């Protein structure tokens, strides 16, 4: 099971009255006005408990809250960020479901540290399994309070009342009260009780159905204001000078004052050099008037990367991404004995390159200081972490810092940090005016962080009948997640090895599981071929996990696996995997002509428990397939001596219209299971399915991502 699942632990929710709660209570009504406020309290530091298993006796904090106003308006306050995954819609659906209103009757206030609770940021596919389930409870509790209020007012048994269309009504519709009538003149605050009943997915009428993107109109008219669109009175524009290479040291600094107009400020604080001007153009021009010298140091380059990662591996793994050995697999038996017992074995090394997230909106921030208080509008998946970064940078208490995150121009795990917010705040402080700073694409490609590169070594064996006998997998650097095989193998060993990464690395959509599943599912294909078995039959023979079997069989059936035969020059490939509680299988068809690979069709079956919004889920599955194709075929960061050599969209290729195959997303809806996240997992089976299809078409086994940056045979 997914180790993150205990995060929500519903038995920990309870009525809780403390002085902290009293001040929170006052805060709710100050922010939202009179009415009904319902909050969900969880144990603070649930993350530490999750990791270390500490007891549940710690202080409580608010995970999310909602407000029903005297005007009947329903507002949810959540620290989550809208990045394009459409949780502004799906979380509203959760609340609307329980309050029996249309989804667009619910407004979400998101990711503003002044009014929303800190819930740990938007990452790890947690918004649906965690936040949505919390909001179901909060909204259900609000509904019960509204029923109580109506019962009291009507002097009727609460069991005779029904809630529909934003009203609580008695038998035959009389009497009938709007939510506003029930909350008018009240300041009623409740914490969620453990037993607040929620509506089971099978009975959903608002959740579980496609709802259009919340605020969609603002996006198609250009009215939506991203962080990079925010404008403040008197605002200036900043530009930061970057060193010529990573780890370079400043040795000389000189400004030619004749080339800098009087309205442009040059700021230097140690190695932080920047300009502030009335226009971004003037700020950039002034940077060119600053003469600097830098001392660079020799560094590991792309050509030596994989050798370096293995040489610097630390024994015993640990740390880094995903900890030791991968989750949930465990070691068992003797790999040596298993390999001896095998009729066929495969020993192979797979690699993945560093890749960039390339969010279309680069990092951007607008910072404003007023009376010693700092407000920053910025695009980040971690508003509270960025608030802490800012508080530390300026040595000030967190309550004097406010971070506001407008719905973002995407992130994909690439916007967890707050560099641009700190830089903008430094400049705004220096000039005493609001400052906007937008990173250039080159800065985004160079000074952000990358999906980790990695080396995966696998030793595997199977009997002639296809039964796996041994599986050993080692990941160097990129992470342990999904390193353990989901196939039944009596003898198995997996280990993650932390090492030294030459480039700054961090989170990415499905992070390490993409690398580990690419290696595993490719080796499964190698074994199937060595044994002369069908790739689907071989997997099914060794797969005991019903949910994974179901998506694999569904994808294969939709694709026509085993029935259709590839045309000349074409090949079929399949792969499957599980990550973050959801299950995916992809089947790909490729065409190879003149050493160029074209992906013709990708069918993906996906299961994440009860589906919340089918159309938006399909959109995520299709989008993940496209992004997965980039990493599979041509995306890679090239670097030498601390310089990124392809820091532009001219030189770093991302998928475009003409790269996109026919995409089919088949959803397996399990209304009997809790909803899991869906923004990440659908990406994991794309690369191995394509790689296996290339092998089927050409007989060439490609063991490095990207597989064909310069076409086949390079």
- Is 596 or 648 the residue whose CB approaches other proteins more closely? 648
| Residue 476 CA, distance from chain mean position | 22
Q: Is 121 helix (H, G, I), strand (E, B) or coil?
A: coil
Is position 20 an interface residue for other proteins (rule: CB under 8 A)? no
Q: How far is the CB of 441 from other proteins (least distance, A)?
A: 4
Instruction: Match 């040595």 to its residue by tokens.
Output: 395
Residues between 646 and 685 with contacts to other proteins, criterion CB under 8 A: 648-650, 654-658, 660, 662-663
Q: How far is the CB of 287 from other proteins (least distance, A)?
A: 14
Residues between 580 and 619 with contacts to other proteins, criterion CB under 8 A: 615-616, 619
Is position 85 an interface residue for other proteins (rule: CB under 8 A)? yes
- Select the span of 18-26, 117-125, 407-415, 522-530 touching other proteins (CB under 8 A): 407-415
Q: How far is the CB of 605 from other proteins (least distance, A)?
A: 17
- Is 85 or 582 the residue whose CB approaches other proteins more closely? 85
Is position 635 an interface residue for other proteins (rule: CB under 8 A)? no
Is position 219 an interface residue for other proteins (rule: CB under 8 A)? yes
- Is 571 or 682 the residue whose CB approaches other proteins more closely? 682
Q: Which helix (H) or strand (E) holds 459?
A: strand 454-462
- Select the span of 67-75, 135-143, 238-246, 624-632 touching other proteins (CB under 8 A): 624-632
Cis peptide before 175 (omega within 30 of 0): yes
Residues between 256 and 275 with contacts to other proteins, criterion CB under 8 A: none
Is position 223 an interface residue for other proteins (rule: CB under 8 A)? yes
CA-wise closest residue to 106 among 116, 96, 114, 115? 96
Is position 519 an interface residue for other proteins (rule: CB under 8 A)? no
Q: Which helix (H) or strand (E) holds 604?
A: strand 596-607
CA-wise closest residue to 643 among 502, 508, 506? 502
Q: How far is the CB of 710 from other proteins (least distance, A)?
A: 19
Q: How far is the CB of 4 from other proteins (least distance, A)?
A: 24
Cα distances (Å, whole numbers) of residue 706 to 360, 505, 643 = 21, 18, 20
Is position 224 an interface residue for other proteins (rule: CB under 8 A)? yes
Structure tokens of 389?
């970064």
Q: Which helix (H) or strand (E) holds 93?
A: helix 87-99
Distance CA 313, CA 325 (A): 14
The contact mask relative to other proteins for 417-456 (x = CB under 8 A, - = no) is ---------------------x-xxx--------------
Distance CA 435, CA 462 (A): 62
- Is 489 or 678 the residue whose CB approaches other proteins more closely? 678
Is position 631 an interface residue for other proteins (rule: CB under 8 A)? no
**Are 482 and 583 in contact, with CB atoms under 8 Å apart?**
no
Is position 209 an interface residue for other proteins (rule: CB under 8 A)? no
Q: How far is the CB of 690 from other proteins (least distance, A)?
A: 15
- Is 129 or 406 the residue whose CB approaches other proteins more closely? 406
Give the CA diameter of the chain.
83
Is position 242 an interface residue for other proteins (rule: CB under 8 A)? no
The contact mask relative to other proteins for 349-368 (x = CB under 8 A, - = no) is ---------xxxxx------
Is position 18 an interface residue for other proteins (rule: CB under 8 A)? no
**Are 420 and 433 in contact, with CB atoms under 8 Å apart?**
no
- Is 338 or 677 the residue whose CB approaches other proteins more closely? 677
Q: How far is the CB of 1 from other proteins (least distance, A)?
A: 29
Is position 220 an interface residue for other proteins (rule: CB under 8 A)? yes
The alpha-helical segments, DSSP class H, found in 312-434 are 335-341, 383-393, 419-431
**Are 418 and 379 in contact, with CB atoms under 8 Å apart?**
no
- Select the span of 37-45, 226-234, 366-374, 491-499 touching other proteins (CB under 8 A): 226-234
b/e per residue 535-561 (b: at least 16 CB within 10 A): bbebbebbbeeebbbbbbbbbbbbbeb
H helix and E strand count, the chain: 17, 28
Instruction: Match 């309550």 to its residue by tokens.
Output: 399
Q: How far is the CB of 581 from other proteins (least distance, A)?
A: 21
Distance CA 109, CA 401 (A): 18
Structure tokens of 513?
């599981």
Q: How far is the CB of 669 from other proteins (least distance, A)?
A: 18
Question: Can you list the positions of beta strands (E) in 100-240?
Answer: 106-110, 162-164, 167-169, 176-178, 187-191, 236-240
Structure tokens of 705?
């991502």
Is position 626 an interface residue for other proteins (rule: CB under 8 A)? yes
Q: Applying CB under 8 A, what is the total number of residues that bind other proteins?
A: 59
Which stretches of the chain bind other proteins, using CB under 8 A? 83-86, 212-213, 216-217, 219-226, 228-229, 231, 237, 279-282, 358-362, 407-410, 412, 438, 440-442, 615-616, 619-620, 622-627, 648-650, 654-658, 660, 662-663
């Amino acid at each position: 099971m997914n180790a993150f699942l205990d995060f929500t632990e519903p038995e920990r929710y309870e009525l809780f009255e403390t002085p902290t709660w009293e001040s929170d209570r006052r805060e709710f009504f100050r922010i939202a006005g009179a009415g009904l406020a319902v909050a969900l309290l969880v144990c603070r530091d649930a993350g530490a408990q999750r990791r270390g298993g500490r007891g549940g006796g710690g202080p409580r904090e608010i995970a999310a809250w909602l407000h029903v106003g005297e005007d009947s308006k329903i507002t949810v306050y959540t620290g989550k960020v809208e990045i394009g995954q459409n949780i502004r819609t799906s979380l509203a659906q959760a609340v609307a479901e329980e309050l029996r209103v249309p989804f667009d009757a619910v407004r979400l206030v998101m990711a503003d540290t002044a009014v929303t609770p800190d819930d740990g940021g938007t990452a790890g596919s947690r918004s649906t399994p965690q936040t949505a389930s919390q909001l179901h409870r909060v909204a259900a509790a609000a509904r019960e309070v509204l029923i109580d209020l109506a019962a009291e007012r009507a002097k009727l048994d609460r069991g005779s009342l029904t809630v529909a269309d934003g009203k609580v009504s008695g038998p035959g519709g009389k009497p009938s009260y709007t939510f506003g009538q029930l909350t008018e003149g009240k300041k009623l605050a409740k914490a969620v009780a453990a037993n607040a009943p929620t509506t089971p997915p099978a009975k959903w009428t608002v959740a579980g159905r496609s709802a259009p993107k919340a605020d969609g109109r603002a996006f198609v008219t250009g009215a939506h204001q991203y962080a990079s669109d925010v404008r403040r009175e008197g605002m200036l524009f900043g530009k930061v000078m970057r060193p010529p290479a990573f780890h370079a040291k400043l040795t000389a600094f000189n400004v030619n004052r004749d080339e800098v107009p009087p309205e442009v400020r040059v700021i230097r604080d140690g190695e932080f050099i920047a300009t502030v001007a009335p226009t971004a153009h003037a700020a950039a021009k002034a940077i060119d008037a600053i003469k600097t010298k830098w001392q660079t140091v020799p560094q590991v380059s792309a050509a030596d990367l994989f050798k370096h990662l293995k040489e610097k591996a630390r024994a015993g793994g640990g740390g880094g991404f995903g900890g030791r050995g991968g989750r949930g697999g465990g070691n068992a038996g003797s790999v040596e004995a298993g390999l001896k017992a095998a009729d066929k074995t495969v020993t192979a090394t797979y690699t993945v390159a560093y890749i960039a997230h390339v969010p279309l909106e680069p990092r951007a921030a607008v910072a404003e200081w007023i009376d010693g208080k700092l407000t920053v509008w910025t695009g980040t998946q971690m508003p509270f972490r960025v608030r802490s970064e800012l508080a530390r940078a300026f040595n000030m208490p967190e309550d004097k810092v406010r971070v506001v995150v407008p719905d973002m121009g995407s992130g994909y795990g690439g916007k967890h940090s707050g560099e641009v917010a700190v830089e903008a705040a430094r400049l705004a402080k220096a000039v005493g005016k609001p400052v906007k700073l937008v990173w250039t694409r080159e800065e985004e490609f160079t000074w952000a962080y990358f999906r980790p590169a990695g080396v995966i070594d696998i030793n595997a064996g199977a009997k002639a009948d296809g039964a796996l006998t041994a599986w050993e997998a080692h990941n160097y650097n990129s992470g342990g997640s999904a390193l353990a095989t989901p196939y039944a193998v009596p003898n198995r060993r997996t280990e993650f090895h932390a090492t030294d990464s030459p480039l700054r690395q961090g989170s990415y959509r499905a992070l390490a599981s993409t690398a580990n599943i690419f290696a595993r599912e490719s080796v499964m294909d190698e074994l199937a071929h060595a044994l002369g078995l069908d790739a689907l039959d071989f997997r099914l023979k060794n797969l005991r996990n019903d949910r994974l079997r179901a998506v694999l069989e569904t994808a294969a059936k939709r694709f026509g696996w085993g029935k259709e035969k590839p045309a000349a020059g074409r090949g079929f490939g399949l792969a499957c995997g599980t990550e973050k509680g959801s299950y995916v299988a992809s089947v790909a068809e490729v065409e190879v002509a003149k050493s160029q690979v074209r992906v013709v069709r990708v069918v993906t079956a996906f299961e994440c428990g009860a589906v919340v919004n089918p159309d938006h889920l399909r959109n995520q599955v299709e989008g993940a397939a496209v992004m997965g194709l980039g990493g599979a075929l041509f995306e890679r960061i090239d670097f030498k001596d601390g310089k990124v050599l392809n820091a532009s969209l001219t030189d770093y290729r991302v998928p475009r219209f003409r790269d996109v195959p026919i995409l089919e997303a088949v959803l397996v809806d399990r209304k009997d299971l809790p909803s899991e996240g869906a923004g990440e997992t659908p990406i994991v089976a794309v690369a191995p399915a394509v790689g296996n299809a290339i092998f089927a078409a050409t007989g060439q086994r490609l063991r490095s991502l990207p597989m064909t940056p310069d076409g086949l045979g390079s």
